[in-house]
Structure 1
Amino acid sequence: MLENPRSPRVRSIARLAKKTVRQEAGYFLLEGPQAVREALTYKPELLSDLFGTPTAVERHQDITNLAAEAGHEIEFVTEEVLASMADTVTPQGFIAICRQFPTALKDIFSEDLKLIVILQEVRDPGNAGTIIRAADSAGADAVILTGRSVDLYNPKVVRSTTGSLFHLPVAVDASLEDVRDRAAAVGLTVLAADTGGESLLEARRDGTLARPTAWLFGNEARGLSDEELALADRVFTVPIYGSAESMNLATAASVCLYESAFAQRGS
């Protein structure tokens, strides 16, 4: 059992909370039983180390079984050691080290696509992770982070996906122009979300949402620039019927993605 929270090994694991360290190592942290469970179920080959407190291992026997099936051994650690490794205050008993696994653009666009998500300059890790989770829930084929979007393996992004990171392809470090050209080449209609666009109800009425679609979402504070909006085929806004000043990016993205999912499946 690892018992010293200040040991070099524990400190090296904790340093994966920093982007520069993650980029150099090519690994990232997974925290909590849900994230570890999804990794063991969908991408067990990517895990290099798995840690758990005795209490958590006893409580989550399914994780123990999944680890055994994948040939991974859970190394016991104390609560203090786990807290020192984690980015969160309460890591809920499990931490794993996982190899980064972004998908290449060419691999995403080699598939028959119905719905993809493009995140341009999305900087907030909670928003990015929640949109990946919403995309997974809506049955999207892929998510692509373009421009200076947040690091996909930021601990808060990973936590916010609640395991969806392991369910669908995600590409990073792409240029918006390149993604837009690839989308057009495979017949995807690029729809941008912006407060100055047409009402989303229009897209529902005229059948636009039933087409194979790439939804483009911009920065939380600035939105999409005129140049970025010009790359889209059409621009829509989610109407606000109450007195709210605006809508959170992840919430608006979820509405757009589910409108597309309903339309595509209804047709």
Structure 2
Amino acid sequence: MASFPTPLTAGNSRVKEARKLARRSFRAEQRLFLADGPKAVEGALSIPACVVEVFATPAAAEQYAGLLGDAAVTLVDDRALASLSDSVTPAGLVAVGRFLDRPLADVLAGARLVVIAADVRDPGNAGTVIRCADAAGADAVILAGDAVDLYNPKTIRASVGSVFHLPIALERDPLAAVRAAQAAGLGVLAADMDGRDLFAADDLLAKPTAWLMGNEAWGLPDALRDAADEVVSIPIYGKAESLNLATATAVCLYASARAHR
């Protein structure tokens, strides 16, 4: 495992350059992002050619030697590592990785279960949706519209490594994502109010499906809802007004996963 004999400081030019990746504009320009913490670093290392470099404190490099294997590791001091991490208590590992999103057509090819998350703005929600999709055995996630940056450190962290486990596409036009899913043979089910009861829709759920999930605050616009093949609702048996985005996504995906199996 290659390393510098003396840990780099926060003022080092390489650390400063990596620190710029905290800005979305710089990430997009360089097509690089920061994977913060052992789970994210492990996931990034599992993808061939994803990781450019790993920054680690000497203690973390020793603690996670098995995880790091023969990865290129640059030792940094605690202050330098903290400048690269947005965690309250950094774990001592941050990797610089190459962008890993894939073209829309690629992630839809042969897929049977997909999530189209339209205009999701909160990085924690986006990461959790990706984690739910991974857990339910979905084939892909599409972040569509005016969505949060996939490479926001909070999105990566909220996915708990799942961002590295399944294909993810970015599509600026949510309607184009819906049309592409339909063209790929997927039935698009809009999760919204006043639709068909989710638990009485096994005939729909057993088919190849793309779940269309809306924004956290205002849900799905009429144009997107109307473009879906069916509108499906999660029944509310208690007094709650609704479910949050990540919970609703998990319920819908697991309903499909059960029907598929």
CA distances 1:98-146 after superposition (whole Å, capped 9, x unpaired) = 011210112123x212101101111111111111111111111111111
Give the aligned partner of residue 263 of structure 1.
Answer: 259
Identity of aligned residues (%): 48
TM-score after normalising by structure 2: 0.93
CA distances 1:165-224 after superposition (whole Å, capped 9, x unpaired) = 1111111134222222222222211001113323211213xx211110000001000100
Equivalences for residues 211-230 of structure 1 within 5 A: 211-230=207-226
Aligned counterparts of 1:244 and 1:56: Cα–Cα separation in 2: 44
Give the aligned partner of residue 96 of structure 1.
Answer: 95
Give the aligned partner of residue 19 of structure 1.
Answer: 24
1:57 equivalenced with 2:61 (yes/no): yes
Aligned counterparts of 2:68 and 2:135: Cα–Cα separation in 1: 27
Choose between structure 1 and 2: higher helix proportion: 1
Runs of 4+ in structure 1 deviating by more than 4 angstroms, as ranges, are none
TM-superposed CA distance for 1:158, in Å, is 0.8
Could you tell me which of 124, 129, 138 is aligned with 2:136?
Answer: 138
Check whether the contact 1:123–1:148 (CA below 8 A) recurs between aligned residues: yes
Amino acid at match of 1:148: D
Give the aligned partner of residue 3 of structure 2.
Answer: none
CA distances 1:36-83 after superposition (whole Å, capped 9, x unpaired) = 111112x14111110111222222232132xx1xxx221111111110
Check whether the contact 2:171–2:177 (CA below 8 A) recurs between aligned residues: no
Check whether the contact 1:30–1:155 (CA below 8 A) recurs between aligned residues: yes
Give the aligned partner of residue 158 of structure 1.
Answer: 156
Give the aligned partner of residue 49 of structure 2.
Answer: 45
CA distances 1:1-29 after superposition (whole Å, capped 9, x unpaired) = 33422333322222211111111111000
Q: Which runs of 5+ in 2 are unaligned?
A: 1-5
Q: Which runs of 5+ in 1 are unaligned?
A: none
Aligned counterparts of 1:201 and 1:210: Cα–Cα separation in 2: 12
Check whether the contact 2:146–2:172 (CA below 8 A) recurs between aligned residues: no
